[in-house]
Amino acid sequence: MASQRVLPQSKETLLQNYNKRLKDDIRSILDNFTEIIKTAKIEDETQVSRATQGEQDHYEMHVRAANIVRAGESLMKLVSDLKQFLILNDFPSVNDAITLQNQQLRSLQEECDKKLTSLRDEIAIDLYELEEEYYSSSYSLWDGTDLPLCEAYRRRDSWASPASGSALAQDDREDLDGPPSQETNSQHHLNGHGAMEKP
């Protein structure tokens, strides 16, 4: 991989700025710490009185300690900026994260659909029996145009074998005529018989 890349000016400037901040902050921490240690050394000969020198050293140590803390906080800010830059511009890891997330979501979707499909197959069997039970009872209120599932299967079977079903076909035609309550069912049978008896 080439170490020299032509980056847009803003990105290159930003990264150079990060480098500069890092060097400045580390230098600030080390220099100020070293100076505090040097200032802590007690000297016998001073240009001003010991009290004044002590006061001056005290103030200098305060300022240098504050500088160390400021440099530490600046380093924390730099780390935060680097994290942000990494999240936005580290394309290899962003691509990996997107691929992984897509894989997880797709596998969840496939599992969900697979379970729904198997549920559908199981429910279809039970629903067939339920409909047969319901539509053959006195509670059903269907009209001939809206076929229940069991009736649809029965008709499909009768279409599949036409030779066996002239009476059956007649019953089916009669069923289309009216609502299939128990009383009307008996009427259908009567009509069917009546139709058969007519010349």
Residues that bind other proteins (CB under 8 A): 1, 3, 5, 7-8, 10-11, 15, 18-19, 22, 26, 29-30, 33, 36-37, 40, 65, 68-69, 72, 75-76, 78-79, 82-83, 85-98, 101-102, 105-106, 108-109, 112-113, 115-116, 119, 123, 130, 134, 139
- What string of DSSP letters covers 101-131? HHHHHHHHHHHHHHHHHHHHHHHHHHHHHHH
Residues 6+ apart with CB under 8 A from 116: none
Q: How far from 43 is each of 33, 38, 121, 149, CA to CA, in Å?
A: 19, 10, 94, 105
In whole angstroms, the minimum distance from the beta carbon of 100 to other proteins comes to 9
Comparison of 146 and 197: residue with beta carbon closer to other proteins? 146
Comparison of 29 and 174: residue with beta carbon closer to other proteins? 29
Comparison of 11 and 189: residue with beta carbon closer to other proteins? 11
Comparison of 111 and 183: residue with beta carbon closer to other proteins? 111
In whole angstroms, the minimum distance from the beta carbon of 74 to other proteins comes to 10
Residues 6+ apart with CB under 8 A from 134: 140, 148
In whole angstroms, the minimum distance from the beta carbon of 153 to other proteins comes to 19
H/E stretch holding 142 reads none
CA 53, 55, 56, 57 dihedral sign is positive
Comparison of 30 and 63: residue with beta carbon closer to other proteins? 30
In whole angstroms, the minimum distance from the beta carbon of 199 to other proteins comes to 45
In whole angstroms, the minimum distance from the beta carbon of 116 to other proteins comes to 6
Q: How far from 89 is each of 15, 33, 83, CA to CA, in Å?
A: 12, 35, 10
